Structure 1
């Protein structure tokens, strides 16, 4: 009998990226154990908006964004904020963010993100029938709303970028046209863009748990343990946990916003930060929401979760340790009640999650500097659910020593080192 503390591959992190990767590895024949300090979908994967946002190919670091950022950052409840107590710690990350926003780096980022999105969409369609998951998807599109012609015109470069990369888009030019897709909106919204191929999951936590059960059915194990250190050995990787030592032939590091703390033990000091996102979830829907609704000028969305609704979004660059500021969730909800007049704002549950964000909006997918026995799969920002199936296939290829399905050069963990460039 094999030692229960030894496995072919240990995946660190039971969020959506870790669980989907573990499932793909188990399907390929590896003995897989997942370790997580809290359990399946206990962190950011539990409370996201439930969107497979394959149309979102533009990095956050767009050309000229830093001219707008000071105005946003001075508003503590605006769509992008940074607590003063955290500002100095953010300077190295902001420097790399500024470099990523150059026209050349932005164009390269869009191309890389588009390739990752196309791969991830195809990977999801391969995954869904394997796990009997179609009933858990909503293929209802996404509506982005604008109150003025000027706002709509300003958004056109982003829409043109989507179309250049093969994303279907429809444009609406009056409240009446908008109401045909989503009735009940405030008539102040006079323009909109619609992406009909957008897909949502009915509940991101339940989706992750569904995949976790599929992993168990293939013999994979999921255990509660806090990983404190990784150390390469001649035969694999020694894993120090709060429940004793483990050993694995290979490790996949998919611990989301906490991943960089373990990567330091392997020679990587990655500029991973957190885009703290807030939401309020209602168990029942008080408006007839027919699509995923996005308010891009205000930085939030309203989406269906189960039989209820979730109102959430915004970006707070605040790290892992500062306490939540739930005024942000309340601000988003007040706006949502104005924009969807039928929405009743009582009985909701507030939540904050930590989106793991690298300055160029691309994840780190590749081998650790210290050893090829550790594979990184983290830093997806807002797009962990979206890119989970695609990341899983890439991770599996790396674990097998096969050629990945897309060029991983733009996602290389070493890209932020002095030699790597950005």
Structure 2
């Protein structure tokens, strides 16, 4: 007898878990495979924000002028390890090209398709018990010490307005009403009411996998070695613990996705924006919603375990050891943002944001293998985009030829 063939999703981060659950619900027999527990990697360490307003790409017009200063400051919002610069340079050059006005406008429209309904998408993919515990819709607050917005901020707001993101400007007095613990240094803000957040990102991914298993899907802990293919068809997913025959394969392994994509003939400029967080374990205060310091480029969010401050970008690949001085600086900046914050007990973390220069993910069929699809490269927005990405994957697997004509997230766009 022929071995049964499953739809195999590789990668149990938030993107892979969401794809696996939606495919199981769509009638596939799904096996989700990862060497680590669900959500244990990068998906566990984010700021928890479900950013309905995140249509603004990372690269914006005028940002090029700021890059030299950032690079010369080892603790600035963007850092490149000099030993890694030769490898990072092609990605950085494409990132700079992506900052042109017309490109940024196009990317914002594409980001809107994955983010505008993010909270609604999350409430629809979860069941009542998980929604009540894990999803909170109290908006998002961006705050600044300056009296007036600069050109980059004004352009970002124009992108929000053009793409239907509801927002409200907030003066100094209103800031205190929204977040009483904020420093008096902050003079104004922007409130995005439709955004939401989770207080436990890892538990959110674990909930998706529990729903997958309740629906009849499987989760297997194993290190994936390769996708075995012949004649333009994937035959199996090969792991350190055995071989799993595959009818279809979805690769959603974040920053490590190219390890499986390259042998299938696919190359894209994927790199890692290494992100850090610091968690104040007994903060003695709470924020009502995720709050971003626009000047210093980080988010602070109250979580089940404490208050997390997350942000900054370090370009150094996946092999360099963490530089936890960046997390220590985040902790100091959190104290400046929230003067009554107790940071005496804390812990640090570093993870790998899988990022492409245009801030858009790859959600597409492999170019040369007809039954392999990709869902990776979500950068800072994996948590926000996970349900919409899963919906896109379901549509692709239903579509003739496994591709969609109106796809902003094509693998061959580079």
TM-score normalised by L of structure 1:
0.93
The corresponding residue for 2:222 is: 225
2:401 & 2:124 partners in 1: Cα distance? 19
The corresponding residue for 2:73 is: 75
The corresponding residue for 1:31 is: 29
The answer to whether the 8 Å contact 1:228/1:240 transfers is yes
**Deviation (angstroms), 1:78:** 0.6
Alignment map for 1:158-307 (pairs within 5 Å): 158-174=156-172, 176-233=173-230, 236-307=234-305
Alignment map for 1:9-408 (pairs within 5 Å): 9-118=7-116, 120-129=118-127, 132-151=130-149, 155-174=153-172, 176-233=173-230, 236-401=234-399, 408=406
**Deviation (angstroms), 1:386:** 0.3
The answer to whether the 8 Å contact 1:35/1:222 transfers is yes
The answer to whether the 8 Å contact 2:55/2:160 transfers is yes
**Deviation (angstroms), 1:19:** 0.5
The corresponding residue for 1:419 is: none
Change (3 A) 1:412 1:240: same
Q: Deviations over 1:138-164 (max 9, x none)?
A: 111111111112446752221232122
**Deviation (angstroms), 1:215:** 0.5
Change (3 A) 1:138 1:48: same
Tell me the secondary structure at the aligned position of residue 63 of structure 1: coil
Q: Deviations over 1:104-123 (max 9, x none)?
A: 22121111111222354543
1:18 & 1:377 partners in 2: Cα distance? 8
Tell me the secondary structure at the aligned position of residue 59 of structure 1: coil
Tell me the secondary structure at the aligned position of residue 285 of structure 1: coil
The answer to whether the 8 Å contact 2:281/2:343 transfers is no
Deviates more, 1:64-73 or 1:335-344: 64-73
Question: Structure 2 regions of 5+ residues with no counterpart?
Answer: none
Q: Deviations over 1:332-358 (max 9, x none)?
A: 110110120000112111100100000
1:404 & 1:171 partners in 2: Cα distance? 43
Equivalent residue for 1:7, pick from 2, 5, 8: 5
TM-align CA RMSD: 2.1
2:85 & 2:7 partners in 1: Cα distance? 38
Deviates more, 1:291-300 or 1:322-331: 291-300
Question: Structure 1 regions of 5+ residues with no counterpart?
Answer: 417-422
1:309 & 1:2 partners in 2: Cα distance? 52
Aligned length: 413
TM-score normalised by L of structure 2:
0.95
